[in-house]
Amino acid sequence: MPDTLLLIEDEPLLSAELVRHFKRQAWDVATAHTIAEAKRLLLDEDVQPLVVLSDMSLPDGNALDLLETIRSRGVSGEWLFLTGYGGVADSVRALRLGAFDFLEKPCELDRLDLMVAGAARSARAQRQLREQAAAENRRYTPAAFVGRSEPARQVRDMLIKLSRVPLSAMLLTGETGTGKGLAARILHHSGQRREGPLVEVNCAALPRELLESELFGHEAGAFTGARGRRRGLMEQAHGGTIFLDEIGELSSDLQAKLLTVIEDRRIRRLGGSQEISIDVQVITASNHDLLERTQAGAFRSDLYHRITVFTLELPALRRRKADLDDLVPLFVAEYNTKSGKSVRSIPDSAWSALRTHEWPGNVRELRNVVERCVLLSDTPTLAIEWLQLTPTRAPGEAVAPISNAHDVCVPIDGSMNLDDMERTILGAALERSKHNVTAAARLLGTSRETLRYRVNKHGLKSDE
């Protein structure tokens, strides 16, 4: 189906000539001679031109007024203006309103063809971006947080509420693999900033000296190797959302700079002197206890309180095992499609193994297990031999055998997270000190106040 070009021209001879010219180039040409006719085509008849070629001055007004109206209604397409008496003010206004270009009559057809072709390429690229964004918006709805359990239902309900309000910042917490990235995408694509960009940054994946440049951008010559200007990720997220995963890994100086950006909504590139206004929603995530890190002095308290306008905790999979009935078939179908397999049944022995496993890696671990089983299955039945689930223990379960009077052993096979290890070590120290906090603090080489805080945090028994 040919693309549509809308021609708005009040001179009959020129209009007829241009119609014939562009039809020969396989354009579907729609014509209007006045602003009223063009407005009827664009708004009432829902004509969606790839390119609009318009005279500037028409019998019933200025076409720039029409462009401003159309842009406010969200009608897409690139606009090219032709005029016999172009002025600086009109050209500036045209470009400010997002026109592709501004040409004076008479314009040679070869030059006009080049401009129309450029406008068409730009419009196609924008259309593709809009279609991708629309697909993401359809994909990442609150229903994408799959599960029938009560914890999953509570998360969905909260995602619906949060997507309806313009929160400036929020924090997502939970163990690794619980779906913090999924929740961030749902909040963006279901929220009021869905038309803007979503920029995702893993603060733990980049070295500190590179992370500052990535976040805030730099000017040419700001440091060795900075040969040109670079827009930072915060600037690229203007009008949308930036998702800062593992924010607890930021260095103290970057924490201070991020706090200033969130408060003032302005950034300054490295090596730059000019401040740039930005409008972004900041979603952060951490699998550490940021409040504990704040109290220990490892994270700025002012930044913590600024990013916790709302805090949403994502539940561990072991707390929502009823959701396996929904998640496993979903992942099987996904990897059937990706790999061309046709796994249709899951044996009872596989279900039993899946339901008794404690899933220290949460949904991410489950996805990897299902992917492996589907890819290596040679029959329509899920291959149970590829589950390869290692024995795990529930958090807080006593797992630390004492090999001698001074050692405590904890597994590092993924079956315990850091909090569970800390609880086990504290419990062993208290046991050896007969639950005397002062004596246990001496054994662990820490202060009494610090140990007392951690004992209370984990609900352990002490002499207090």
**C-alpha separations of 448 from 176, 182, 442 in Å:** 31, 40, 8
Same domain? For 80 and 66 the reply is: yes
Determine, yes or no, domain membership for 391: no
Name the domain count of the chain. Answer: 4
Give 127's pLDDT tier (boundaries 50, 70, 90): confident
Highest mean pLDDT among 131-140, 249-258, 396-405, 420-429: 249-258
**Same domain? 180 vs 160:** yes
Q: Is 374 part of any domain? A: yes
Mean predicted confidence (pLDDT) in 215-229 = 77
Q: Give mean pLDDT, residues 454-460.
A: 78
Q: Which among 111, 136, 161 is the end of a domain?
A: 136
What is the average per-residue pLDDT within 318-334? 95
Structural domain containing residue 63: 4-136
CA dist., res. 154 & res. 35, Å (int): 52
What is the token pair recorded at 448? 């009494």
Final residue before a domain boundary, out of 386, 416, 435: 386
Decide if 71 is inside a domain.
yes
CATH of the domain at 87: 3.40.50.2300
163 lies in the same domain as 224: yes
pLDDT classification of 68: cutoffs 50, 70, 90: confident
Residues near 377 by Cβ (< 8 Å), separated by ≥ 6? 341, 343, 383, 386
3-state DSSP call for residue 347?
coil
Give yes or no for residue 1 having a pLDDT over 70.
Answer: no
Q: Which is more confident, 332 or 77? A: 332
Binned at pLDDT 50, 70 and 90, residue 391 comes out as low
Same domain for 336 and 291, yes or no, is: no
pLDDT, the chain, mean: 86
User: Which CATH number is 170's domain given?
Assistant: 3.40.50.300
Whether residue 411 is contained in a domain is answered as yes
> In this predicted structure, which of 45-59, 94-108, 240-254, 408-422 has the lowest mean pLDDT?
408-422
CA distances to 276, 382, 392 from 329, rounded to whole Å, are 48, 11, 23
Same domain, 403 and 380: no
Can you give the pLDDT at residue 430? 86
Which of 286, 313, 340 is the last residue in one of the domains? 313
Note whether residue 392 is domain-resident. Answer: no
* 262 and 358 assigned to the same domain: no
Tracing tokens 């019998």 back to the chain, one arrives at 59
Strand partners, 381: 345
Q: Within this chain, do residues 194 and 299 fall inside the same structural domain, yes or no?
A: yes
Give pLDDT, residue 85: 65
Beta bridge partners of 104: 83
Q: Check pLDDT > 50 for residue 403.
A: no
Q: Which residues contact 89 (CB under 8 A, 6 or more apart)?
A: none
Highest mean pLDDT among 128-137, 385-394, 424-433: 424-433
CATH code at 347? 1.10.8.60
- In this structure, the answer to whether residues 132 and 148 fall within a common structural domain is no
Burial class from Cβ neighbours inside 10 Å (0-12, 13-18, 19+) for residue 79 reads buried
Mean pLDDT over residues 198-220, rounded? 86
pLDDT attached to residue 396: 46
Domain co-membership, 91 together with 173:
no
Are both 150 and 296 inside the same structural domain?
Answer: yes
* Within-domain flag for 240: yes
- The DSSP call for residue 280 is -
432 class by beta-carbon count within 10 Å (0-12 exposed, 13-18 middle, 19+ buried): middle
Statement: residue 399 has pLDDT above 50: no
Q: Are 79 and 122 in contact (CB under 8 A)?
A: no
**Which residues, 6+ apart, have CB-to-CB distance to 303 below 8 Å?**
255, 256, 258, 259, 262
Do 100 and 209 reside in the same domain of the chain?
no
How large a percentage of the chain has pLDDT more than 70? 92
Same domain, 49 and 162: no
Residue 244 lies in a domain: yes
In a domain, 364, yes or no: yes
Question: Does the pLDDT of residue 402 top 70, yes or no?
Answer: no
